[in-house]
Amino acid sequence: MNYAKTAILLAGMTALFMGLGLLIGGEGGLVIAFFIALAMNFWAYWGSDKAVLRMYNAQEVDASSAPDLWHMTAEMAARAGIPMPRLYIIHDAQPNAFATGRNPANAAVAVNTGLMDMLTREEVAAVVAHELAHIKNRDTLIMTITATLAGAVSIIGNMAMFSGANRNNGPIGTILGIAIMILAPIAAMVVQMAISRTREYAADKAGGEICGNPVWLASALDKISGGVAHIPNWHAERNPATAHMFIMNPLSGGRADGLFTTHPNPVNRIEALMAQAEAMGVRGYAPAPSSVPSGGPWGASSRPGPWG
């Protein structure tokens, strides 16, 4: 199903570029735009995961540079029945994480240092299990390509406005250029919405099963929610098209359930995880929404280290 969604997104990207090429250069521009779109589609499929990791200055680590995190991820991957992904650390105070890659054999998990500082070892393991669930479910291909294409769609709007389309085609070209400039950001949002929020619930459920205790993930989401609300992620603010990739929306004001949000409300996710824990016969502390203090980090006592 995700491969079909990916094909639809790539076809839509091609159509948008061809439409812009026709607007700017007529039939000749249409042909040029077609080949540009093909090149972009090829790059989006094969190189978008690396591009996203570069956006966040992610640093790859291994068993010697981050032994505890690496061995814990390897254990969770073995439980999930997938190959050990490449592992990255992002030096950012916001507690968050994401997975990327076109398939389980070519996947990566990136973890913010803020996540490791603020969560217990069990909670970090649960977050990693959630990201591995995305990899196992093959969500990461469409998640990563969507991030790339959503950014490209926004660029199309600027190209249409500042290109020579309005000069070459008179008043009609001007109107079309303005229309594309206005509609392109909306199209980018719709592209992101092609990623159903139900995938987060599915990854939460599978993550709870992989780590063996959904309460750990519920507690982690509670802490992450509090951290995201008070600690900005400037890399994400500069690259909002990647927001849907994270376990929690990293953008300011991205907490509530709504028509155009990329993530379910954390309260709903926590409730679903606690229900899962009850069904599994697992008992544990049920976190209260926004129980994390608003004063920032939770203190060094909860650091799950050593992280290398």
Say if CB 169 and CB 176 are below 8 A apart: yes
Up-side HSE of residue 49: CA atoms within 13 Å toward CB?
24
Of the residues 131, 200, 237, 278, which is catalytic?
131
User: What dihedral do alpha carbons 130, 241, 150, 156 form, nearest 10°?
Assistant: -170
122 is catalytic: no
Q: CA-CA distance, 206 to 176, in Å (whole number)?
A: 46
Q: CA-CA distance, 231 to 96, in Å (whole number)?
A: 11
Active site residues: 131
